[in-house]
Amino acid sequence: MRAIVLSTALTFSTALSLVLTACGPSSAVTDARTAQADEPQTPARGAPVRQDAANKADAVPAFPEQTRAPESKSNVALKVETIADGIDHPWGSAVLPGDGSLLVASKTGKLWRIVPGKAKTEVTGVPKVDTRSQGGLHDVSLGPDFMTMRTVYLSFAETRDGGKTSTSLARGKLSADNSKLEGVQIIFRQEPAWESTGHFGSNLEWDSAGNLYLTVGDRQVPESRVLAQDINTHLGKVLRLTADGKAAEGNPFAGRTDAKPEVWSYGHRNVQGAAIHPGTGKLWTIEHGPRGGDEINIPEAGKNYGWPVICYCIDYPGNPIGEGITAKEGMEQPVYYFDPVIAPGDMIFYTGNLFPWKGDILASGLKTRDIVRLKLDGDKVIGEERVLTDQGRIRDIVQAPDGALYVLVDDAGKVLRVTPAA
């Protein structure tokens, strides 16, 4: 998935980070801009990726290249191999150490072990999953203790009392022969459960301290999405948990009676993709908007990311979301947004050497049916490219130990291994 393009080293500039993660420019940034006012301005570096007109035509980005960054072609010829097929809506994946085989979760509630190009076997012992609509078995992640304890974590949609559902988290031990999960327990349940079968979120990422970020969607319906602003619920949140599913130490709302202690950040719509930045160790997320408003954020402790009060989007029928505003004091701006949407499944930071994309974001596009590559300078997106455009709805991407990419294709029910053609 890469070719012969210069690999720009990431420069993690504090000033840029302040600009991108704050709701508005700080006084220090304002002073810096004033001091540079007489300096020549950098001209636009090219046209953006060809795409349809924006849904929210009146939206004005908060800063340059917050959306539609210049197209950055790497001209990489790709070699694409199918290493497994016949998987009904694959969703999440994890590479097992040692033999490089994969665990692949499917929407239908099945967990598969795939030895690339050789075997596909079902792993039994998965908890019961509600597969209706957007439900299913979602992400799979190896615990920090996997090398000694073989612990595996699963996020999924669970049926609860009264016909309600929740995003839930389970863990179990993968047997020595990789055939089954043993001692599976549900260690966290989103509260409140809701009578909805949509917007479960459900991505899993570990930080360097061994804490687990779990993303939980707003549960889709108008009555629940407003609760993304309510810190006394788990809806529309990024949660930070211990390996036992409890609130992690140092969470921003710990000790408050009006907040859930697991909440890390709030005001999210439906985060299905996330990754830990390899240089800074910070969590980055990518979330679904409705018509427009797919967002990339760097969620910080206790901060509000705006949904459904602010959004670079409109609702599905064409009406505004709330007051139709894109900014408000006390609410964070996205690092980057898409309008029209890509419908992001997951994202990674590429860290291998096979492709000249080291440090770039690779995001899976369900609607655009491609991988969206975002070139970064620090915390700022400076280029965009669409690759692997001929395989179907890309749901998930994971990097293999040798730098190759394993790619899950939702509608085709297959797993691909992608390498440079030359």
Strand locations in 107-260 (E): 111-115, 119-123, 137-142, 151-159, 165-174, 181-189, 204-206, 212-216, 237-241
Sequence-distant (6+) residues with CB within 8 A of 44 are 70
One of 199, 234, 268, 288 is an active-site residue; which one?
Answer: 199
379 pLDDT higher than 60: yes
Q: Give the pLDDT band of residue 46 (cuts 50, 70, 90).
A: confident
153 pLDDT higher than 50: yes
Answer yes or no: is 392 within a domain: yes
Answer yes or no: is 28 within a domain: no
pLDDT (0 to 100) of residue 318: 97
**Number of domains composing the chain:** 1
**pTM for this model (two decimals):** 0.89
Of 333, 347, 340, 227, the residue nearest 276 (C-alpha): 347
253 pLDDT higher than 50: yes
pLDDT in tens, 100-148: 899 999 999 999 999 988 899 999 999 999 999 999 999 999 999 999 9
**Contact criterion met (CB below 8 Å) for 293 and 285:** no
Helix boundaries (H) for 201-341: 222-225
Range of the domain at 412: 14-20+47-420
Q: Give the pLDDT band of residue 26 (cuts 50, 70, 90).
A: very low
Mean pLDDT (the chain) is: 91
Angle, vertex CA 387, rays to CA 238 and CA 199, nearest 5 = 25
Q: Say what percent of the chain tops pLDDT 70.
A: 89
20 pLDDT higher than 90: no
As given in the structure block, the two tokens for residue 191 are 């509260």
pLDDT in tens, 100-109: 899 999 999 9
Answer yes or no: is 34 within a domain: no
Average of per-residue pLDDT across 289-314: 98
Answer yes or no: is 7 within a domain: no
pLDDT (0 to 100) of residue 45: 62
Answer yes or no: is 29 within a domain: no
pLDDT (0 to 100) of residue 99: 85
pLDDT (0 to 100) of residue 6: 33
Q: Give the pLDDT band of residue 185 (cuts 50, 70, 90).
A: very high
pLDDT in tens, 77-100: 999 999 999 999 999 999 999 888
Q: What is the gyration radius of the CA atoms in the chain, in angstroms?
A: 21
pLDDT (0 to 100) of residue 173: 98
Measured distance CA(305)–CA(308) in Å, rounded: 9
29 pLDDT higher than 60: no
Answer yes or no: is 4 within a domain: no
CATH number of the structural domain spanning residue 268: 2.120.10.30
Answer yes or no: is 85 within a domain: yes
Check residue 337 and report its DSSP letter: E
pLDDT (0 to 100) of residue 127: 97
Answer yes or no: is 219 within a domain: yes
pLDDT (0 to 100) of residue 36: 35
pLDDT (0 to 100) of residue 21: 39
Q: Edge-to-edge, what's the strand order for the sheet holding 78-84?
A: 78-84, 414-420, 405-409, 394-399
pLDDT in tens, 267-301: 999 999 999 999 999 999 999 999 999 999 999 99
41 pLDDT higher than 90: no
Known catalytic membership, residue 277: no
pLDDT in tens, 338-377: 999 999 999 999 999 999 999 999 999 999 999 999 999 9
